Structure 1
Amino acid sequence: MHRFLLWFSFVCSPYWLSAQTPRPALEEDTIRLNEVVVTGFASNRRLLETAASVNLLTRRDLQQRFGTPTLVPALNTLPGVRIDERSPGSYRLSIRGSLIRSPFGVRNVKVYYNELPLTDAAGNTPLNALDVRSIGRVEVIKGPAGSLYGAGTGGTILFSGLAVPAGQSSAEVSALTGSYGLFGNSVTVQTGKDNSAISLSYNHVNADGYRQHSQMARDNLNLVGSFTVSPRRTVSVVGFYSDLNYQTPGGLNAAQYRANPRQSRPATPTIPGSAEQRAGIYQKIGYLGFSHEYRWSERVQNTTVVYGSLTDFANPFITNYEKRPDQGLGGRTVTQVRLLEQALPTTLTFGAEWQRNFTISRNYGNRRGQPDTLQNEDELRAWQSILFLQTETALPAAFRLTLGLSRNDVRYGFTRFSVRPIIPQERTFAPVWLPRVALLRTLGPNVSVFASVSTGYSAPSGQEVRPSEATFNTTLEAERGINYEAGLRGQILSSRLQFDVALYQFELRQTIVRRSTVAGAEFFVNAGRTDQKGLEAMLSYDLIAPQGAGQPAGFWRLARVWHSLTLADYRFRESQRGGADVSGNRIPGVPSTVAVAGLDVESRLGFYGHLTYQFLNQFPLNDANTVQSDPARILTATAGFRRNLGQRWTVDAYVSGDNMLDQQYSLGYDLNAVGNRFFNASARRNYVTGLRVGVKW
């Protein structure tokens, strides 16, 4: 089957078939490509007029296509995006990059939630604190976006909360249950009356997990409110509280993985096992932000946001026990001015972003899940600031030119209090300027082509300058690179066939990679130069022509086939590994081919179905390229029935199956793992069933 997919793969998918206009039902209506609005480059232009690689996920993609309440399957349908879940709750995300820098979490990607920075000053993003049931839209900008969002060579993700329909109030309750002890429920209340839009939701999910010692539980409370104070002024508030804990079973070597993939990492003669040490993550996060939008005139407007965050983090690991309270503070201001409306229409966007984090890290010995003797007590301070400027100009002959520039400044301060004498240290990275140039031309109303050159910069994160090895790394350099890209997107055949293709080459210097000690503690080094070449393509075709005015409604409301393809050739250049030259080797963790295909159908009677097939080609698991992953073929299916009951009530019942081919595979490898413990087994065939009931008034 995957050979047919590779032959068929040359372009785009359904995920940009969305708009920001709120919809009363769970699903989004089919929106033509030339109606899709992109917010990521501050000008709110149509996707056809955006000179960048951008993908969108709607509420249908996030909450209807897959039954499991997680971001993982939806994001993995996008070309160039990979998110791993080595065990329930343990996310690892990359955009156009390798995971050799990410033992866990999110590195080298900037993330925003309702325009507020979610990625902190130390470069860390608590992605697993979000619940997919509180998210209405995801916009993914691939490649360096430093002209507006600062440091980061991978890309930028913009999350938006649930849209609130104007002029009505609503409430929805839901519950789900599934294999391996999965259970979840949620309550959402929204009101869009009296010049305000408020959404409040509570979400719970817990699971026993497929492997031993892989239980997970998360409670999430989410608030988004927007208030129109006057015709020119809008004030918004965003807040969430997340209480997450999950057990970490640890990686297995090949023999252990083949013999019993469900086991947790066993003990060795010198090191205890994961279950014995009760290894896990305990994370509580509180986040509160405010946004103020003021429209000075039809041509000038400003949006300013401020936020604060508190994190209580604990990680009993096999060899130690880390406790880490963290305080974050920051803000961002963006001003937009429309100039020269007649001759050369130009939009000028400029602004700044500032962030600070204060973290205290204490490492203890781990005595069967309890902190023992204090080993280190450290204080880490992080500062990050961005100044940015961008212009978009409509040129003659249907050309559009984008010019961007930003200044990025990153600094760290470190003090170890557990060692005498106490000597404060600093790591300051010289401020850098990041330019971006992009040119787009529209070829009629439905097709456009673009080319861009952009620079990327990514300073080490706080967890890289002060890793679990518990040293302060003053020699680690920031990654620098330049990205060349060209793309083609559009729609033909009466808008039924939609496509999006991008070809890029990213030359990265001072690539940051992860290394491990014999005990499994991590540290990071610069691995020299890497070359990253790729092709990303998406395609969708509507089997049912859109219903026009005066046409009778047919049985099918939606019938669409879609496909996405990622081809990647990522290799080391001039790189050493333990004295060995690995130049020319493939970078571990990057499949050369990822193909995803799907079928979406919805009838006017309320029945719907989604079928998704994903193929990942094998890829190396270490720098030497001596160990390869197994190819993965993952089939997911969802069927449901959604119906309006009268004017106010809606009911939605569904059943979903994951890994329907019952394949043994790993959705998250430990790369360059000590002891060759590369493998983290994913669940075999499993099912989820759920029910949603909503009412509006």
Structure 2
Amino acid sequence: MRNLCLSLCFLFFIKSWCQQVKNDTLTRLDEIILTEEVISKKAVGITPSSAIGTETFERFNPVDIPSGINQISGVYVLSGALNTNRITIRGVGARTPFGTDKLRLYFNGIPVTNGTGFSTIEAFDLENLGSLEVIKGPKGTAYGANLGGAILLNTKLAREGTTRLGNNFTAGSYGMFKNNVSVSHQDKGFGIKVSYNRLETDGFRQNNRFVRDGILVNSNLALSSKSTLGILVNHIDYNAQIPSSLGETDFREDPRRAAANWLAARGFEANKYTLTGLYHHYQITDKLKNTTSVFYTYLDKNEPRPFNILEEITNGFGLRSLFEGNFGKAEYVLGGELYKDEYEWSTFRNLFRDRDGDGSFRGNQISENKEFRTQLNLFGTLTYPFSAQFSAQMGLTYNKTDYDFRDLFNTGADNTSAERNFDDILLPSFGLRYTFANGNIYANVSRGFSNPSLEETLTPDGIINPDIAQETGTSYELGSKINLFDRKLVIGATLYRMDIKNLLVAQRVGEDQFVGRNAGETRHQGLELDAKYQIPIAKKILLSPYIGYTLNDHRFVDFVDGDADFSGNPLTGVPRHRISSGIDFMYMEGLRASLTHLYVDEIPLTDANTLQSEAFHVFNTRLNYRTPIGKHFSLGLNFGANNLFNTRFAQSVLINANSFGGAEPRYFYPGNDRNYFGGVRLGYLF
């Protein structure tokens, strides 16, 4: 509570300071260029969503995707490392041990979530993104109706009629070096962007070095006045050392340490990931258009770990087709998405203990497996305007998911091959929106689901669990967005409740063994508030404070684990209060300064609520300056500092961590201490 009060005092200071502007300066609105971004919405029809763009990304270090996403109320990214991010939306996904699941991730309209529902946002370079849009909860009928929702990533596009060459260079603490060079061209019939980026950093902790190379190609060609063909290629190759989590003693005394077993094994993961897509837009008639994409993904992963060495290869491919049209006053969307992947994985003994400090060494093979996974989504929405102000939308999603597991290592009675075909599921959605002069109000009721992860479908012995079921839930949402004072003040508020049944729980039973089961019901309810105020200070100066507040009242309704009854306890892994706030200062001759603040409340770390992480405040700042140099060149300079007050905090946590070999349970991933970065941006406009 003390930390929450400090956060509110900070916001009160911002508000009070802003209100000290003389009244006559507020009449100069016509002399200032407002900088509110216009982001093209991808969510279908009247489906509400939240979006951030380059204005938000440029408040932070260009390697810091989590801080940008954490500006969105209701969304929280826990980041154990650059390659270990867990995105939770309204508490969904908070119980996942590692990585992001229970939502769908799309890149330029192409699905990049794998066959069991896992997404890796770290596969994309922040400096290539033009926008990130979040549909919270299962109301995204056209994007899978997952309980967590959907995240839509879109690349930056060049302005029509321009050709531009740009290079962004950034250096910072922990030996960080990043460079992104790109060339883009756009005219009426052809557009292309090619970008190459490289990132190197030693990291804050031991065994924390990260090296990544990436290339992005995005191109479109107008075949006719009605037809456009596009191609997308995104490839990354990275090697990331893994410091892993820490126990409470190490976290408090020396957060730079790596976990002892991971340090001894010099654990790391090496990933080669490629996404290729071909998409086609066709204007069939004046009232009907189609977008169809075919895509292929490839992942080659090698991860030496203290308990074994994991080698993975995933080949994924699919098709997505979307028809958009209108019938009279009604607008409709019909489509489908088929995704199939083949996941092969093998484990080997790690003989690092016999290597006298030389790190991991591959021993005898322990397992060899292959799984074929298929997911089919069919969907449709109908939006009908009863008047210019009042609209309704109905949606329906159909999902069918199948897993086919092959044990390629064991034979005879020891072979564990099996299939798991989930029941067909229908997921309806219904929404209303009323628009008035200064804003709108909306309501939505929708049903969603989540598939179990790979670990949750298998027992510790590698046998398909025939009893595991999909999570299902119903979401109720009421929200409003209001513009006041000639649109200088924008306020948004949302109330929601989501009841989830067949809660999926990944229970850790060994150092690298989890067993999944359906463990009862949870109730997710909360409040999300957002406000942004643009205050003209002088002829070319604009001040813009903002705040996002999230209240999470998430609880187990029915959760019995053996002899322990956790019913009524707060949901593990979710902070009750969270605030993202800040202030932007803009001088219209190219100068911008940003101060950002994040408050995260205590997080329950055990289902019994016997241990919590500490609440924390983190402040970051960045200064940007841009200016043209002659007719064709432009120069940009930036400097920033993260964690200004050198706060010790857990940037990510594990829940229900167990102790092995007499060591402390390892709950905490330390956040970086105070660190700095600076960069130079050069541009040439042909």
Structure 2 length as normaliser, TM-score?
0.92
Aligned equivalents of 1:137, 1:465: Cα separation in 2 = 34
Aligned equivalents of 1:291, 1:691: Cα separation in 2 = 35
Matches within 5 A, 1:109-124: 109-124=103-118
1:335 aligns with: 323
Q: 1:555 aligns with which of 517, 540, 543?
A: 540
2:54 aligns with: 59
User: Helix, strand or coil: the match of 2:5?
Assistant: helix
1:312 aligns with: 300
Q: What is the one-letter code of the residue matched to 1:516?
A: R
2:426 aligns with: 433
Could you tell me how far 1:475 is from its partner in structure 2? 2.2
Could you tell me how far 1:604 is from its partner in structure 2? 2.1
Instruction: State the identity %.
Output: 26
What do residues 459-512 of structure 1 show as CA deviations (whole Å, max 9, x unaligned)? 113353248874433322100000000001020111111011110000000111
Could you tell me how far 1:160 is from its partner in structure 2? 0.4
- Are the aligned partners of 1:386 and 1:409 in contact in 2 as well (CA < 8 Å)? yes
User: Helix, strand or coil: the match of 1:206?
Assistant: strand
- Are the aligned partners of 2:95 and 2:655 in contact in 1 as well (CA < 8 Å)? no
Could you tell me how far 1:73 is from its partner in structure 2? 0.7
Aligned equivalents of 2:466, 2:269: Cα separation in 1 = 28
What do residues 299-357 of structure 1 show as CA deviations (whole Å, max 9, x unaligned)? 100000110011101221221111110100011000011111xxxx1101101100100
Q: What is the one-letter code of the residue matched to 1:611?
A: L
Determine if the alignment matches structure 1 residue 85 to structure 2 residue 87.
no
Could you tell me how far 1:520 is from its partner in structure 2? 4.0
Matches within 5 A, 1:467-486: 470-486=462-478
Aligned equivalents of 2:128, 2:395: Cα separation in 1 = 33
2:88 aligns with: 94
Aligned equivalents of 2:544, 2:602: Cα separation in 1 = 29
Q: 1:36 to 1:325 in 2, by over 3 A?
A: closer
User: Helix, strand or coil: the match of 1:628?
Assistant: coil
Could you tell me how far 1:560 is from its partner in structure 2? 0.7
Determine if the alignment matches structure 1 residue 357 to structure 2 residue 341.
yes
Q: 2:656 aligns with which of 668, 672, 675?
A: 672
1:633 aligns with: 617
Determine if the alignment matches structure 1 residue 694 to structure 2 residue 686.
no
Aligned equivalents of 1:8, 1:469: Cα separation in 2 = 52
Q: What is the one-letter code of the residue matched to 1:576?
A: V
Aligned equivalents of 1:613, 1:423: Cα separation in 2 = 51
Aligned equivalents of 1:447, 1:6: Cα separation in 2 = 26
Aligned equivalents of 1:520, 1:137: Cα separation in 2 = 36
1:419 aligns with: 410
1:548 aligns with: none
Determine if the alignment matches structure 1 residue 606 to structure 2 residue 590.
yes
Aligned equivalents of 1:188, 1:470: Cα separation in 2 = 46
Aligned equivalents of 1:636, 1:470: Cα separation in 2 = 45
2:310 aligns with: 322
Structure 2 unaligned blocks of 5 or more: 13-32, 353-359, 660-664
Could you tell me how far 1:527 is from its partner in structure 2? 1.9
- Are the aligned partners of 2:621 and 2:640 in contact in 1 as well (CA < 8 Å)? yes
Q: What is the one-letter code of the residue matched to 1:664?
A: R
Which has the larger displacement, 385-394 or 569-578? Answer: 569-578
Could you tell me how far 1:364 is from its partner in structure 2? 1.1
Q: What is the one-letter code of the residue matched to 2:532?
A: S
1:286 aligns with: 274
Q: What is the one-letter code of the residue matched to 2:85?
A: Y
Q: 1:259 to 1:366 in 2, by over 3 A?
A: same
1:300 aligns with: 288
Could you tell me how far 1:131 is from its partner in structure 2? 0.8
Q: 1:227 aligns with which of 218, 221, 225?
A: 221
What do residues 571-598 of structure 1 show as CA deviations (whole Å, max 9, x unaligned)? 1111023431111111111110001111
Aligned equivalents of 2:294, 2:466: Cα separation in 1 = 31
1:3 aligns with: 5
Matches within 5 A, 1:373-388: 373-388=364-379
- Are the aligned partners of 1:98 and 1:589 in contact in 2 as well (CA < 8 Å)? no
- Are the aligned partners of 2:95 and 2:573 in contact in 1 as well (CA < 8 Å)? no
Determine if the alignment matches structure 1 residue 538 to structure 2 residue 522.
no
Aligned equivalents of 1:276, 1:657: Cα separation in 2 = 32
Q: 1:468 to 1:232 in 2, by over 3 A?
A: farther
Aligned equivalents of 2:285, 2:244: Cα separation in 1 = 57
User: Helix, strand or coil: the match of 1:38?
Assistant: coil
Structure 1 unaligned blocks of 5 or more: 11-28, 44-49, 267-272, 546-552
Matches within 5 A, 1:431-580: 431-444=424-437, 446-466=438-458, 470-544=462-536, 554-556=539-541, 558-580=542-564
Aligned equivalents of 1:469, 1:135: Cα separation in 2 = 42
Could you tell me how far 1:605 is from its partner in structure 2? 2.3
Could you tell me how far 1:662 is from its partner in structure 2? 0.5
User: Helix, strand or coil: the match of 2:56?
Assistant: helix
1:206 aligns with: 200
Q: 2:135 aligns with which of 141, 144, 162?
A: 141
Aligned equivalents of 1:85, 1:471: Cα separation in 2 = 31
Q: What is the one-letter code of the residue matched to 1:83?
A: V
Aligned equivalents of 2:455, 2:592: Cα separation in 1 = 44
Matches within 5 A, 1:36-55: 37-41=40-44, 43=45, 50-52=46-48, 54-55=49-50
Q: 1:613 to 1:244 in 2, by over 3 A?
A: same
- Are the aligned partners of 1:129 and 1:244 in contact in 2 as well (CA < 8 Å)? no
1:185 aligns with: 179
- Are the aligned partners of 1:98 and 1:588 in contact in 2 as well (CA < 8 Å)? no
Could you tell me how far 1:379 is from its partner in structure 2? 0.8
What do residues 381-410 of structure 1 show as CA deviations (whole Å, max 9, x unaligned)? 100001111000001372100000011000
Q: What is the one-letter code of the residue matched to 2:184?
A: Q
2:159 aligns with: 165
Aligned equivalents of 1:77, 1:84: Cα separation in 2 = 13
- Are the aligned partners of 2:311 and 2:346 in contact in 1 as well (CA < 8 Å)? yes
User: Helix, strand or coil: the match of 2:252?
Assistant: helix
Determine if the alignment matches structure 1 residue 371 to structure 2 residue 362.
yes
Could you tell me how far 1:5 is from its partner in structure 2? 4.5
What do residues 419-462 of structure 1 show as CA deviations (whole Å, max 9, x unaligned)? 11245310011110000000111122x21101110001111133
Equivalent pairs counted in the alignment come to 652
Aligned equivalents of 1:203, 1:451: Cα separation in 2 = 42
2:357 aligns with: none
Aligned equivalents of 2:671, 2:387: Cα separation in 1 = 54
Structure 1 length as normaliser, TM-score?
0.90
User: Helix, strand or coil: the match of 1:133?
Assistant: helix
What do residues 141-181 of structure 1 show as CA deviations (whole Å, max 9, x unaligned)? 11113521225100101100111211010011121111111
Determine if the alignment matches structure 1 residue 394 to structure 2 residue 385.
yes
Aligned equivalents of 1:325, 1:168: Cα separation in 2 = 40
Determine if the alignment matches structure 1 residue 586 to structure 2 residue 570.
yes
- Are the aligned partners of 2:493 and 2:527 in contact in 1 as well (CA < 8 Å)? yes
Q: What is the one-letter code of the residue matched to 2:581?
A: A
Could you tell me how far 1:206 is from its partner in structure 2? 1.4
1:270 aligns with: none
Q: What is the one-letter code of the residue matched to 2:291?
A: T
Q: What is the one-letter code of the residue matched to 2:299?
A: T
Q: What is the one-letter code of the residue matched to 1:115?
A: G
Could you tell me how far 1:32 is from its partner in structure 2? 6.2
Could you tell me how far 1:86 is from its partner in structure 2? 0.7
Could you tell me how far 1:8 is from its partner in structure 2? 9.3
2:355 aligns with: none
Could you tell me how far 1:31 is from its partner in structure 2? 6.1
Q: What is the one-letter code of the residue matched to 2:43?
A: G
Greater RCO, CA 8 A, separation 6+ = 1
Q: 2:579 aligns with which of 588, 595, 603?
A: 595
Q: What is the one-letter code of the residue matched to 2:257?
A: Q
Q: What is the one-letter code of the residue matched to 2:636?
A: D
